[in-house]
Structure 1
Amino acid sequence: MKKIYLFGGILCLIIATLSFNACKKVKEGFLSDYLRYSSNPLRVNAGSFYLSQGLIPDASTPPFEVTLLNVRHKDTGKRAEEFFKEYELDVWKLPYDPTTDTTLALINAKRTRVKKTPFEVTPVSGQMVFNEASNNIPPGEYLLDIQVKNPNGTKTYNGICTIILAPQVEYEYINAPYSLAVEANSETAIRFAYDADWIDATVGRSTTAWLKIKRVADSPNQVVLKFKDKNGALFAPSEYKQRPSGNSYLKTLGTFAYKTTVTDTAVLYDYATSPFPALYWDSQSNGINCYYRINANNVASIDTASATNWNPPSQLPYGTWNKRPVKLNVRFNTRINRPGKYIYEIILAATKK
């Protein structure tokens, strides 16, 4: 019986001890040595807006006051001055709406030109913020040093996170550009083998269209669009027609631009800001696909892709087809991430009259 009482007493003592520890509160003002970021290393593309998650406090008691101390090159430990310099960039005072902000005056009324550093750390949560000016920072690996203060303490956290800054992606191909032959007096496409397959996605080349993109200047924000045949002959810009769809037309770059100008050598599209087209359009019908038509009077013949001995990009067996008049339906889908002036040159596997 004594053993039973002894065992019961020990059990009660253990339960009481566990209950006390479970209810014990962390001392107010506790500041852990193990604050951290959930993403470490943090990978960011230069030139884009990015907001990281905040610090994981590891039971430290708020409120916190976070201060950026330094950003250092990981390989040398030296301060990366580009993170602390100020650069000019446009800041929106009001939300941009591409469907209503259709003139430069309306657009400029909503934004202002300021000088900002490309990187900051928010003082309460410790979130890392990158803006478009980060394209001035050389790609590489960097170490972040911060100071954190709460009501009863201050600590320094050197190298709390590694930042991997990737080179800026100035533009990207969302899907394969292509052209389809369509009978001159109908809307029925004459499909050939591999007519929309990639040959090389990195350069925007499919079997029937090759979209070459080149950034040529920091300003103005403009796309210069040119259609050429397989020999480099220019299709007249006045002949870049909209593609009909029922009682309306499908999108072109003009849908997303605030100004369109037709010249003797190209069609110019002025845009407000990057990304272009704006993310708003991603959820709209057909997304940011751009559709154009080259009418039959501009097309003498078309090149067809053949499945025989097909081995792109080493072998590109094409055949020529000119049995009856055809027009071309052209589609491409791109996004510009860095503002500036770009040349869009689309080479079509077709011969201009």
Structure 2
Amino acid sequence: MMIYSYCKMKVKTLFKFLAIIAVIAFSLSCSKIEQGFLSDTIRYRDNVIFAKRGMTLTLSDRINADGSTPPFTFKMLNLRHKATGEPAPSEFFTEYDVEVFKDGMTFNAATDTTVELLNAKRELKQVTPMEFNEVSGQISFNRASANLPLGEYIFDLEASNRWGTKFYESFAEIHVVDPTNDELYEVTTLQNNASTSAEVFTGLSAPRFSVTKISNDGARVILKIVDRNGDAFNPAEGEIIKRGDRPMFETYAKFNEVIVTDTALICDFEVAPFPLAAYNDGVTDWGWLHYYRIPSQYVIIEGQPNSAANPAFSYQIKMEGTYVVEVKMMETTRIAGGAPPMDN
């Protein structure tokens, strides 16, 4: 009898335990289970994103979601001046004409040898300088960024996933800056010498070389060779001539003929970089070298009477735009209009 009572009590206890478990399970089944995770500390690797004005493409990192549950939707909000809080200028959201290659087409230096062939692959598109990818959070800037005012800007972010939505104030900064000289161009050789009519050469100091971007429009180099006073030699009057069979401006003018003026040689190069490639004539690899001669009747060279000047230089422009390239020979003085040669 005692055994029976004991077993009966055990069964009642077991039923009570199972009933409690059932109540808990039912309660849980009626509660909403939280789905996913959205971190409070999502971020870019670098909090400051640099927009380099006029470059073909500047691209930020993706947003690091810090373990949050994908997929995400990101929204850039309240882009504003960092210092004043005033709304960002309208140029960020204005569409500009930008020449781009058509979808699926790229430039091929070996086959795209004329402006007509090049233009068959290109088209004008209206684009805003900045695009924000709502899936990755990446920010991209294109050539139209040349229109953006310099400055520091800041923005907020809204992020959403299956967990819900969060707001991140002052999420990251955009600094609009000009490209550095290293990003605009590269100079690899600068040299000069004097030569007599007997082709006896004497070394001179390297020319001073400068590149000035004067416009974001077009793709043009205006090459000037000047004396110590900045007086430009006149290629239209024969004050700048080619040097034998060595490469010169025309060697690298792939798409358009060089324009000759009384102060400069001008090339519309169409596609950056310029020169597109190093010049190799099958015997010598000349790199990007340009060779010129200033005949002796047009120049006075310190300590080298009745001598011609022979500047040589190599450079590459890395971005479209209009540039003045100046080669300044410090030991020289131009003879305007020329003088009768005494020896060569």
- Same fold per TM (> 0.5)? yes
Query: 3-state SS of the aligned residue for 1:260?
Result: coil
CA distance in structure 2 between the partners assigned to 1:282 and 1:156 by the alignment: 52
**1:293 counterpart residue number:** 292
**Deviations along 1:201-233, whole A, 9 cap, x unmatched?**
xxxxxxx34546462x56553223233334525
Q: Distance in 2 between matches of 1:300 and 1:88?
A: 45
Hey, what does 1:88 align to over in structure 2? 97
- The higher radius of gyration belongs to 2
Q: Per the alignment, in what secondary structure is the counterpart of residue 321 of structure 2?
A: coil
Which residue of structure 1 lines up, in the alignment, with residue 341 of structure 2? none
What are the superposed Cα offsets for residues 74-132 of structure 1, whole Å, 9 maximum, x if unpaired?
11223213222222211222212344323222222112111111111212221111111
Aligned in 2, Cα 1:107/1:328: closer, same or farther, shift over 3 Å? Answer: same
Amino acid at match of 2:266: L
1:36 partnered with 2:43: yes
TM-score (normalised: structure 2): 0.70
Percent identity, aligned pairs only, is 29
Deviations 1:224-247 (A, max 9, x none): 323333452523345645556xxx
State how many pairs are aligned.
Answer: 289
2:151 corresponds to which residue?
140
Matches within 5 A, 1:331-350: 331-335=313-317, 337-340=319-322, 342-348=323-329, 349-350=331-332
1:1-353 matches, within 5 Å, as: 29-48=36-55, 49-80=57-88, 81-93=90-102, 94-167=105-178, 172=184, 174-175=186-187, 178-184=190-196, 190-192=202-204, 195-196=205-206, 208-211=207-210, 213=212, 215=214, 219-230=217-228, 232=231, 234-237=233-236, 240-242=240-242, 249-250=246-247, 252=249, 254-255=251-252, 257-265=254-262, 266-273=264-271, 275-277=272-274, 281=277, 289-294=288-293, 296-297=295-296, 300-303=299-302, 320-322=303-305, 325-335=307-317, 337-340=319-322, 342-348=323-329, 349-351=331-333, 352=335, 353=338
1:41 offset after TM fit, Å?
1.7
> 1:251, 1:155 → 2: CA distance?
60
- Alignment-derived partner of residue 6 in structure 2: none
| CA deviation string 1:237-290 (max 9, x = no partner) | 45645556xxx74463651542123434232201214x4427x64899665x44
Contact 1:254 1:269 in 2 (8 A): no
Cα gap change, 1:302/1:99 in structure 2, threshold over 3 Å: closer, same or farther? farther
Structure 1: give runs of 5+ residues left out of the alignment. Answer: 1-26, 197-207, 304-319
Distance change in 2, residues 1:262/1:143 (3 Å): closer
Q: Structure 1 residues 235, 294: closer, same or farther in 2, change over 3 A?
A: farther
Tell me the distance in 2 between the aligned counterparts of 1:130 and 1:95. Answer: 19
Quote the Cα distance in structure 2 between the aligned partners of 1:251 and 1:39.
44
The 1-side partners of 2:243 and 2:120 are apart by 33
Distance, in Å, in 2 between the alignment partners of 1:51 and 1:234 is: 43
**What is the RMSD of the two structures over their aligned residues, measured on CA atoms?**
3.4
Q: Is contact 1:30-1:61 (8 Å) kept?
A: yes
Mapped partners of 2:147, 2:299: distance in 1: 48
Q: Name the SS of the counterpart of 1:181 in structure 2.
A: strand
Q: SS in structure 2 opposite 1:191?
A: strand
Contact 2:221/2:324 (CA < 8 Å) preserved in 1? yes
SS at match of 1:162: strand
Q: TM-score under structure 1 normalisation?
A: 0.69
Paired AA for residue 329 in structure 1: P
